[in-house]
Amino acid sequence: NGSSYAYCAISHAGTGLDIDGSLASVKNCSFSDNTAGLNLYDAPSMTALSANAFESNVDPLIVNGKYDLDDSNTFTGNTHQYVTVNSGNIQAARSWGLLKVPLFIEAGFYIESVLTITPGVRLSMGPDSWLEVSSGGSLKAIGTEAAQISFTSSKPTPAAGDWYGITVDGNGCNLTWCVVKHADTGVNLEVASFTLEHSTLSDSTTDLDYSGAGSWTPSGTNTITTQVP
């Protein structure tokens, strides 16, 4: 635990750096020509993950949901030009602010605390992926007109049903200036405490299902192609 890496150059490895311990710090390092640059799949916590350069790797960076992601790392010429979110439920307040490349959501996970997604973040949803906001959790995805937040299929030719969708069972969730596409059910709403504004829900089998949300009804300015009820 507590390992620290600063100004290291790691290249030509199978996995350049694989961290399983807690409270590690990785700053100002370069990862190049690796199969996997930095693998944090099993890291239970990080004290820092910032200002690193990932170039010409197959998979530059693999993370879980147990620490924040900022926009200080750079990504150039990687085979998979995205950051893989492999596992890890959101069990403490987290912020995802990665803008330079998409977040590839490989599998489904529960949001059991507050997850804040900053404007402009792109979530590329894998075929087995879903997001479920548990009763004690909350999703704050508040974009802007110029920097919308997207939840869309990872497939090169997307279609309805490519991923499972977003289920909301927690109060106070907010999707503003968001795009949700190509899911089975784009948003499945189970609570009445929910804000949907300036968002586009389209190209899913069902874009919005709020039949379990009591008195909640769509309001504001949104584009919703199909909805239940």
38, pLDDT greater than 90: yes
β-strand 36-39 against 59-64: which pairing, if any?
A: parallel
| pLDDT, mean of residues 44-70 | 97
| pLDDT, mean of residues 130-157 | 98
pTM over cut 0.85 = yes
Q: Is 155 exposed, middle or buried (0-12, 13-18, 19+ CB in 10 A)?
A: middle
* Cβ partners under 8 Å of residue 157, min gap 6: none
Q: For residue 170, how far is the Cα from the chain centroid?
A: 18
Q: Closest Cα partner for 43 from 25, 27, 19, 60?
A: 19
**Longest alpha-carbon distance in the chain:** 57
The per-residue pLDDT for range 152-207, each reduced to its tens digit, is: 999 999 999 999 999 999 999 999 999 999 999 999 999 999 999 999 999 999 99
The per-residue pLDDT for range 65-91, each reduced to its tens digit, is: 999 999 999 999 999 999 999 877 999
User: What burial letters (b/e) apply to 68-100, b meaning 16+ CB within 10 Å?
Assistant: ebeeebebeebebebbbbbbbbbeeebebebee
**pLDDT score at 220:** 87
